[in-house]
Structure 1
């Protein structure tokens, strides 16, 4: 395939940072179709529009997801990318790979595809960029039979579940994110591979409120590790930070001298609910006001630890802009025990209660968060059998009319009459 002049893309090779353009040019020496990728992208830069057509329907036998169709709208100019499909692979929990597995995947992709990869996509999948329709079935056979590797999700289905490093490497993990992620991935194979939902649905699992996989911003079902008792305090370690014996933020900013640590300025005054104070040399916390922002724990990890009664908060309905713009997930279940002994039955119950409602009332291409927004949070909470909390209120009531359920009106009236008669009898 001929090389293409790419003056606009060439600009991206200038400067101190590595460039995907340089990588593509190097890869094109082995895989000439990469020259056409560069040519088409240059044309898109010049025309200021994409030259990929709508994905269309393409996949492997028995699966409705995992392959994203890619077709050029100028195939006569760039035949190497006339069809150039994307393959999503289900990544292991926390993306722990062996070097041997990565080498095998790359070798297979050099055999069947362009050799280009995306490590990783927004949902988490290991993404293989660019192959032809005839190569999909042999690639899939080798992946599943020889590498024991499955496809991820795409389309209106459960997308590939993703989790943080959790207890494998993080001291803040309040539940085993890796085991929950893997267990639900195996439990919901049909939902991952055979689209049946109104639109996409994403699980993300963060072991603590630091939320390192941005679950609360990017997933329909966010499981955020938390605790329901008091933060544990090591008062001797608190003094160690105050006296300069320990570096704050676990030494993360050791490259710059920030001066002497000031617990009032750097911890107490930054608490969003002002629930911390010093009494003499002792640090005090009003745990009933703590919102689990994690700031104090991150600054003084030797001194502060999560409580021992650990579990997770379930937040529902985050998404990027689709119909009604970006939105964060809504806290739905304040605390849920994450119990491996029950095979996570309590989590599965919440998931399927959401799905039953959403699949009945959701519109085509409507994320669950958009369904909640359209129908109303009070209705969703009633479906979930959750008692409304102050945290569920977005703003004070602006509608002066109060609408009661019929049973609430009748029941309340009867109670009032009985109470009135009882007082009069006395």
Structure 2
């Protein structure tokens, strides 16, 4: 089918070596009139330098307050096939594992009842079904739940769809069963996921180790980061093999080749707390100073491994810039054993939400509320005592006050002195 809309400005985005969403939409537009009108509407937006989508108002499926984002264009006279172009969010499987059978059925459903356009995956983590009409929302929802056993994800002022890294399914560094934790959160908090009741959105993201492959620390209101509280496991023979050039650094990633590893320059000098020392034969690690940055483990994966006493660090408060600037998460619980039935974590979450719902303003994320009322008030609400590990350098930063008598070593634990002591 020939396209009816000319799109010279959009066509510029198809040039060059990179994949183009415009080229993708044009391929679908050959069989889908909605996609043809979508291109025409977008071309008009480029020409006018303003968007031509208007607020969708309330639209969704029966019994759910979230999962559907209403989209209506303001020029249905020119583009009737996108007069309605609603987006549906589908709760993705943990770690985004699919079978080809499920993907084919999902494509068949959306080809019949929607635009045929997908986003795998948006920054939300969900499967994004882009573009359908109001009358098709219930039929799509019925097919998703009855044929595929899938549910809608979160949208609006509610808990958004939890997401996680690949975890123990494929990653040897994972300190958590990220998939089980994600499933537990999803199933336990169904009301919070589907029926908006919060001041604004709330995101859980789970990373199995401090590499944080889902970028939870930068994006999630509550980050669950796998960690360990005993010592890094060291294979001294493997360390010597890296230094001798018998093993490839970084597991061969990023073009690394077999060569002698300059362990001083590439590992020890890059340790943020200088908690390591190489005497030419053995690697010494002062584990009490380790901040779990994972650098040494990433460079020498055959020689170093996380400890065996594993759990999670719980952080809160990250967000992208909306009302205020972007924020990274803050450590709230340095270590928690994350094992079924996760009762300690549930208790923390529910106290956190109670405080946020009581004090939060409309469209105020948790991190913004903590910034406004203070971390002291948040810690009192969730029943957590201040801990120097919540900040980088407690001696120089009075953000959190604590009694030195409660900290092993008291004020003698000076980070500067530690660095000097550990210099080779």
Q: TM-score, normalised by structure 1?
A: 0.90
* Conservation of the 8 A alpha-carbon contact between 2:248 and 2:258: no
Aligned match of 1:171: 172
In 2: Cα distance, 1:264 partner to 1:372 partner: 41
The alignment partner of 1:333 has SS state of strand
Aligned match of 2:216: 215
Question: Do the aligned partners of residues 249 and 397 (structure 1) sit closer, same or farther apart at CA in structure 2, a change above 3 Å counting?
Answer: closer
In 2: Cα distance, 1:398 partner to 1:348 partner: 30
The alignment partner of 2:254 has SS state of coil
Figure out how many residues of one structure are paired with residues of the other and give that number.
397
Aligned residue runs from structure 1 range 190-209, under 5 A: 190-209=191-210
Aligned match of 2:95: 94
CA-atom RMSD, angstroms?
Answer: 1.7
Aligned residue runs from structure 1 range 274-353, under 5 A: 274-340=274-340, 343-353=341-351
How far apart are residue 397 of structure 1 and its match? Answer: 6.5
* Structure 1 residues not aligned, in runs of 5+: 403-426
1:286-330 Cα shifts (integer Å, max 9, x gaps): 111111100000000110011111000000011001111110011
In 1: Cα distance, 2:289 partner to 2:31 partner: 60
In 1: Cα distance, 2:258 partner to 2:70 partner: 51
Aligned match of 1:265: 265
Question: Do the aligned partners of residues 397 and 120 (structure 1) sit closer, same or farther apart at CA in structure 2, a change above 3 Å counting?
Answer: closer
Q: TM-score, normalised by structure 2?
A: 0.91
1:358 corresponds to 2:356: yes
In 1: Cα distance, 2:49 partner to 2:336 partner: 48
Aligned match of 1:250: 251
Aligned match of 2:35: 34
How far apart are residue 251 of structure 1 and its match? Answer: 0.6
The alignment partner of 2:346 has SS state of helix
* Conservation of the 8 A alpha-carbon contact between 2:34 and 2:82: yes
In 2: Cα distance, 1:257 partner to 1:286 partner: 29
* Conservation of the 8 A alpha-carbon contact between 2:41 and 2:79: yes
How far apart are residue 392 of structure 1 and its match? Answer: 3.4
- The higher radius of gyration belongs to 1
Question: Do the aligned partners of residues 358 and 394 (structure 1) sit closer, same or farther apart at CA in structure 2, a change above 3 Å counting?
Answer: farther
* Structure 2 residues not aligned, in runs of 5+: 402-424
My pick for the range that moved more, 377-386 or 213-222, is 377-386
How far apart are residue 178 of structure 1 and its match? Answer: 0.4
